[in-house]
Amino acid sequence: MVKRWSNLRYAGVDQYGQTIDRTVDGFHARVVQHECDHLAGILYPMRITDFSRFGYIDVLFPELAAGDDE
């Protein structure tokens, strides 16, 4: 439910100091973007624009639970 690039390129070094330079797509690209969000202090729910498709609405927003509007 979060918009992500479908492919991307990333570069850096691994734990041994070896250069990494990859072009990835699909699930790998989504995972890289998700993990980069963590490095920037961004959590998945912060990127969601439509919480009705997220799930756990009754836990996150109990005041919006069905039947509470009476």
Residue 23 domain-assigned (yes or no): yes
| Residue that is written with structure tokens 């991307």 in the block | 8
Run of H or E residues at 5 = none
Mark out the alpha helices in 1-70 (DSSP H runs): 26-39, 44-47, 57-60
Question: Cβ(35)–Cβ(27) under 8 Å?
Answer: no
In the chain the first and final C-alpha atoms are separated, in Å, by 31
Which listed residue (14, 35, 50, 70) is catalytic? 35
β strands within 1-70, DSSP E: 7-13, 19-25
Residue 70 domain-assigned (yes or no): no
Per-residue pLDDT of 22-69, as tens digits, reads: 999 999 999 999 999 899 888 877 777 776 766 677 777 778 666 554
70: annotated active-site residue: no
- Number of domains the chain is built from: 1
Residue 58 to residue 40: CA distance in whole angstroms: 28
> Can you give the pTM of this predicted structure?
0.62
Range of the domain at 38: 7-64
